[in-house]
C-alpha cells in the first residue's frame, strides 16, 4: 500500500483576547469599578432609598462594562461610534472631486487617507516611491505573478513555503521595514487584451480555422476575470525633507533592490516595479475596476493624471460607494484553528461569484519587543488563572489554547525565527447595493470553505477600503 505525500500543514494562533483581569479590558474594569463605587456610596449614605434612586446610573455603567455586541465589548464600540458620528456631523464621510482644481502631478489625495501623499519617481529603478509625511514612510510596489502553487507536487510546495518563510524572517530583521502588504485583486476584463491583439493581428481573409477563433473570441464571456498581484513595502525614511531627498531615495533604492532579489529567491515571479503611470492606473481601478479600457490604461502619465481618485465617494455604516460601484470590507477575525494546507485560501481567492480584493498586512516586530509582549501575556494568564481558581471558575479550553500559542511563539523566537503582527482584509465590489449583498454572501461562504471567520467592518469602511484595495501598505490604526 502506497501513500500520497502531502504538503506540510500550517497552523495559526488564536486571536488573543487578553484583559486586565478575568478577560476584562481596562475600560471595562473602570466602568465596573465605577458602578461598584456608586453602589457602595449610595448604600452607605442614604441606604436602600439611595440605592434605588441611583440604580439607573450604576446599572447603565455595569451594562456598558460587561455587555458585548457581536463578540466585542460594548465599551470598545464607543470610540467607533463616536468617530463615525463626528465624521457624519462634519460631512467627512462624503467627498466630491473637483476636476477644475487639478492637484500637482506629484501629489495624491485619496479618500480614507488623511493628508496628502507625495509620489517620487526613482531615478535608478523607475519605480514610484510614495512618501507619507504623517507616518514618515516611503512605499515601493512590486508587481508579481504566481507560480502555480496549487498544481505543484507536495515537495515543491514545501520548498516554496519555506522560501516564503525565510523571506518574511529576513524582512523582520530589517529595522527599516515598517510594513509589508500582499495584495491580490480580481476584476472583470480578462479577455480584453486578447480581443485587442486579435483585432490588430487577425487577418480579414483568413482561412476557416481563424474565423472560428475569431467567433470564439467575439462570443467570449465579457466577465472573464483578471488577477493581479502586488507586494508593497513601507520603509521608514526621511526623504520628505528636500535637503536629504537624494540621499533618502538612494537608501530606498538599495533596500528596494534587496527586497526584489529576496522576492525572486523565494520563487515568486517578478513582473517589475510599479511606475508612477501604472500606480495611477492601479489606484484608479481600485475605486472602479471597469472605469478605464486598456487603451486608456496604456496611455502616458499626462493622460492619467486626472484619473487618480474617484469622482464621488460616500461612506455608509457598513459599505462604501465610489463612482458607480459599491464596496464592503471584511476583516479576517479568525484564521484556521487546526492544521491546514498552505493553499487553504484557494476558495476565497479563486472562487468565482464576486469581485474581491484580498490584502495581507504584515508588521514586523523586533525580537526584544516580541519577547517582552510574550512575557507580559504569560504574566496576565498566570494572574487570571490564580483569580479564577480563587473564585471557583473553571478554566476553559480556549484559554489553554492561547497559553499554548504563547509558548510556541516564544520557542520560535528563541530558535531564531521572526515575529510579526498580521491582519487580513477582504474587499467585495459590485455595481449595486443588491449585487453587493449577494456578493458578500458568496464571499462569506467561500471564507467558510477556507476555514476563516469574516467580520464585516462597520463605522470605518473608508479607512478599511484604502487599506484593503490600495497597494500602499497602509496601517489600520
Residue 299 exposed, middle or buried by CB count within 10 Å (0-12, 13-18, 19+): middle
Q: Is residue 197 part of a domain?
A: no
Same-domain status, 148 and 18: no
Give the end of a domain, one of 41, 56, 82.
Answer: 82
Q: Is residue 205 part of a domain?
A: no
- Pair 244, 238: CB distance under 8 Å: yes
Give the Cα separation of 425 and 182 in Å (integer).
11
Neighbouring C-beta atoms of residue 193, cutoff 10 Å: 11
| Cell numbers standing for residue 34 | 465605577
Give the end of a domain, one of 32, 59, 82.
Answer: 82
- Pair 80, 459: CB distance under 8 Å: yes
Give the Cα separation of 262 and 257 in Å (integer).
9
Same-domain status, 150 and 78: no
Residue 290 exposed, middle or buried by CB count within 10 Å (0-12, 13-18, 19+): middle
Q: Is residue 270 part of a domain?
A: yes
What one-character DSSP code corresponds to residue 150?
A: G
| Cell numbers standing for residue 378 | 504569560
pLDDT on residue 327: 93
User: Can you name the residues that pair with 25 across neighbouring β-strands?
Assistant: none
Q: What angle do CA 66, 68, 69 make, to 5 degrees?
A: 160
Neighbouring C-beta atoms of residue 216, cutoff 10 Å: 10
DSSP sequence for 405-454: HHHHHHHHHHTT--EEEEEEEEEEEESSHHHHHHHHHHHHHHHHHTT-EE
Q: Is residue 215 part of a domain?
A: no
Of 59, 58, 60, the closest CA to residue 78 belongs to 60
Same-domain status, 76 and 116: no
Q: Which residues lie below 8 Å from residue 363, measured CB to CB, with a gap of 6+?
A: 178, 179, 180, 420, 421, 422, 475
Quote the domain boundaries for residue 48. 7-82
Of 116, 391, 129, 159, the closest CA to residue 251 belongs to 129
Q: Where on the phi/psi map is residue 473: left (φ > 0), alpha (ψ -120 to 50), or beta? A: left
Same-domain status, 319 and 241: yes
Buried b / exposed e along 314-345 (16+ C-beta atoms within 10 A): bbbeebbbbbebbbbbbbbeebbeeebbbbbb
- Taking only the tens of pLDDT, the chain with its 477 residues reads 444 556 667 777 777 666 666 667 777 777 788 888 888 888 778 777 777 778 888 888 888 777 777 777 777 788 888 888 888 888 878 887 776 666 556 677 788 888 788 888 888 788 888 888 888 888 999 998 876 777 777 888 888 888 888 887 777 777 788 888 999 988 665 445 555 555 666 655 566 566 666 666 565 544 456 788 899 998 887 654 454 455 567 778 888 888 888 888 887 888 888 888 888 888 888 887 765 544 444 444 444 444 467 888 889 998 999 888 899 999 998 888 888 888 888 888 887 767 889 999 988 888 788 888 888 888 877 777 777 777 777 777 777 777 788 888 888 888 777 788 888 999 999 888 889 999 999 999 999 898 899 999 988 898 899 999 999 988 766
Same-domain status, 63 and 130: no
Q: Is residue 242 part of a domain?
A: yes
234 Cα distance to chain centroid:
14
Give the end of a domain, one of 82, 113, 138.
Answer: 82
| Cell numbers standing for residue 284 | 484608479
pLDDT on residue 303: 43
Same-domain status, 232 and 163: yes
- Pair 454, 318: CB distance under 8 Å: no
Same-domain status, 19 and 116: no
Same-domain status, 112 and 58: no
Phi, psi torsion values for 344, nearest 5 degrees: -70, -20
Q: Is residue 201 part of a domain?
A: no
Q: Is residue 395 part of a domain?
A: yes
Same-domain status, 282 and 323: yes
Beta strands in 213-289 (DSSP E): 225-236, 269-273
Q: Output the pTM of the full model.
A: 0.81
pLDDT on residue 406: 82
Residue 149 exposed, middle or buried by CB count within 10 Å (0-12, 13-18, 19+): middle
**Secondary structure of 288-341 in the HEC alphabet?**
CCCCCCHHHHCCCHHHHCCCCCCCEEEECCCCEEECCEEEEEEEEEECCCCCEC
Same-domain status, 55 and 150: no
- Pair 241, 133: CB distance under 8 Å: no
Same-domain status, 175 and 291: yes
| Cell numbers standing for residue 168 | 518574511
pLDDT on residue 298: 47
Count H helices and E strands in the chain, helices first.
15, 16
| Cell numbers standing for residue 468 | 484593503
Neighbouring C-beta atoms of residue 437, cutoff 10 Å: 15
- Pair 225, 187: CB distance under 8 Å: yes
| Cell numbers standing for residue 209 | 480555422
Q: Is residue 1 part of a domain?
A: no
Q: Provide the domain count of the chain.
A: 2
Same-domain status, 34 and 182: no
Secondary structure of the chain: what % helix, strand, coil (to 5)? 45, 20, 30
pLDDT on residue 361: 92
pLDDT on residue 373: 84
Tell me the C-alpha to C-alpha distance, in Å, between residue 225 and each of 70, 190, 228, 319, 455: 34, 5, 10, 23, 25
Amino acid at each position: 500500500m502506497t501513500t500520497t505525500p502531502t504538503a506540510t500543514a500550517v497552523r495559526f494562533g488564536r486571536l488573543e483576547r487578553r484583559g486586565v483581569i478575568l478577560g476584562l479590558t481596562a475600560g471595562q474594569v473602570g466602568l465596573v469599578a465605577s458602578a461598584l463605587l456608586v453602589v457602595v456610596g449610595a448604600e452607605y449614605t442614604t441606604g436602600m432609598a439611595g440605592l434605588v434612586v441611583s440604580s439607573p446610573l450604576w446599572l447603565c455603567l455595569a451594562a456598558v462594562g460587561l455587555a458585548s455586541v457581536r463578540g466585542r465589548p460594548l465599551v470598545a464600540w464607543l470610540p467607533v461610534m463616536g468617530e463615525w458620528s463626528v465624521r457624519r456631523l462634519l460631512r467627512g464621510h462624503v467627498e466630491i472631486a473637483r476636476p477644475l482644481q487639478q492637484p500637482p502631478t506629484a501629489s495624491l489625495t485619496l479618500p480614507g487617507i488623511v493628508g496628502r501623499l507625495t509620489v517620487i519617481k526613482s531615478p535608478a529603478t523607475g519605480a514610484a516611491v510614495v512618501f507619507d509625511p504623517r507616518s514618515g514612510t516611503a512605499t515601493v510596489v512590486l508587481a508579481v505573478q504566481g507560480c502555480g502553487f496549487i498544481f505543484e507536487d507536495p515537495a515543491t510546495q514545501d520548498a516554496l513555503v519555506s522560501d516564503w518563510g525565510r523571506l518574511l524572517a529576513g524582512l523582520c530583521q530589517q529595522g527599516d521595514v515598517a510594513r509589508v502588504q500582499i495584495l491580490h485583486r480580481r476584476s472583470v476584463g480578462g479577455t480584453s487584451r486578447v480581443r485587442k491583439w486579435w483585432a490588430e493581428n487577425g487577418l480579414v481573409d483568413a482561412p476557416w480555422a481563424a474565423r472560428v477563433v475569431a467567433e470564439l473570441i467575439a462570443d467570449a464571456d465579457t466577465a472573464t476575470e483578471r488577477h493581479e498581484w502586488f507586494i508593497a513595502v513601507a520603509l521608514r525614511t526621511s526623504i520628505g525633507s528636500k535637503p536629504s531627498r537624494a540621499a533618502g531615495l538612494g537608501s530606498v533604492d538599495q533596500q528596494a533592490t534587496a527586497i526584489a532579489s529576496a522576492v525572486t529567491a523565494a520563487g515568486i515571479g517578478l513582473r517589475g516595479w510599479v511606475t508612477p503611470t501604472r500606480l495611477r492606473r492601479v489606484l484608479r481601478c481600485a475605486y472602479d475596476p471597469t472605469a478605464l479600457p486598456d487603451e486608456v490604461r496604456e496611455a502616458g502619465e499626462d493622460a492619467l493624471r486626472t484619473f487618480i481618485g474617484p469622482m464621488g465617494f460616500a461612506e455608509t455604516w457598513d459599505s462604501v460607494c465610489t463612482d458607480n460601484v459599491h464596496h464592503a470590507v471584511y476583516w479576517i477575525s479568525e484564521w484556521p484553528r487546526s492544521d491546514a494546507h498552505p493553499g487553504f485560501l484557494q476558495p476565497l481567492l479563486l472562487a468565482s461569484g464576486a469581485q474581491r480584493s484580498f490584502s495581507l498586512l504584515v508588521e514586523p516586530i523586533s525580537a526584544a519587543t516580541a519577547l517582552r509582549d510574550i512575557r507580559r501575556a504569560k504574566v496576565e494568564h498566570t494572574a487570571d488563572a490564580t483569580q479564577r481558581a480563587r473564585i471557583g471558575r473553571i478554566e476553559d479550553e480556549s484559554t489553554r489554547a492561547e497559553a499554548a500559542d504563547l509558548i510556541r511563539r516564544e520557542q520560535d523566537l528563541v530558535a531564531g525565527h521572526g515575529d510579526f503582527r498580521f491582519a487580513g482584509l477582504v474587499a467585495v465590489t459590485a455595481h449595486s447595493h443588491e449585487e453587493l449583498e449577494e456578493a458578500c454572501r458568496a464571499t462569506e461562504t467561500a471564507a467558510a470553505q477556507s476555514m476563516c471567520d469574516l467580520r464585516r467592518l462597520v463605522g470605518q469602511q473608508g479607512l478599511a477600503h484604502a487599506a484593503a484595495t490600495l497597494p500602499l501598505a497602509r496601517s489600520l490604526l
